[in-house]
Amino acid sequence: MSDHSKSSPLATYFAVWGALLVGTFLTYEAALLDLGRYNAAVALIIATTKALLVVLFFMHLKGASEKLLKLVVASTIFFLILLLALSMFDYGTRSFS
């Protein structure tokens, strides 16, 4: 945890809050458009952007002095992708429908 008391982080907090609300509105509106196969991609990109904003600014990962924290987050994402990707390779290449 870094020391944030030097400069006021309030402006950042409110900006992130606004961006998260805008993202929620965007994802809701995007779902009403027919983008074909890209609907899911757009929804996931917006969700991931929102999640990144929360992790970096609200959970203070950006500016965390402890490098170990970043390692934990990176390995979490790695193992989650491993779980999802390998499962999808398995089910996606089976012959039954």
Partner 1 sequence: MSDSPATVVHGEAHAGHNPALLHHFATEEQQRDSASFGMWIFLATEVMFFGGLFCAYLIYRRWYFGDFGAASKSINAALGATNTAVLICSSLTVVLAIWAAQTSRRALMIVMLILTMLFGVAFLGIKGIEYKDKFDEHHVPGPSFSFSNVPIPGHPNQYANPQHAQIFFALYFVMTGLHALHMVIGLGIFAWLLWMAWKGRFTPEYHTPLEIGGLYWHFVDIVWIYLFPLLYLIDRHP
15 belongs to the binding site for partner 1 (CB under 8 A)? no
For the CB of residue 95, give the shortest distance to partner 1 in the complex, in Å. 13
Rg (CA), the chain: 18
Using the rule CB under 8 A, is 56 a contact of partner 1? Answer: no
Best CA proximity match to 20, nearest among 67, 52, 44, 43: 52
* Contact call for residue 43 and partner 1 (CB under 8 A): yes
- How far, in Å, CA of 95 to CA of 43, rounded? 29
Cα–Cα distance for residue pair 66/24, rounded to 1 Å: 31
Cα 80 to Cα 89: distance, rounded to the nearest angstrom: 14
Residues at the site binding partner 1, with contacts judged by CB under 8 A: 1, 4-5, 9-10, 13-14, 16-17, 20-21, 24, 27-28, 31-35, 39-40, 43-44, 46-47, 50-51, 54-55, 58-59, 65-66, 68-69, 72-73, 75-76, 79-80, 83-84, 87-88, 91-92, 97
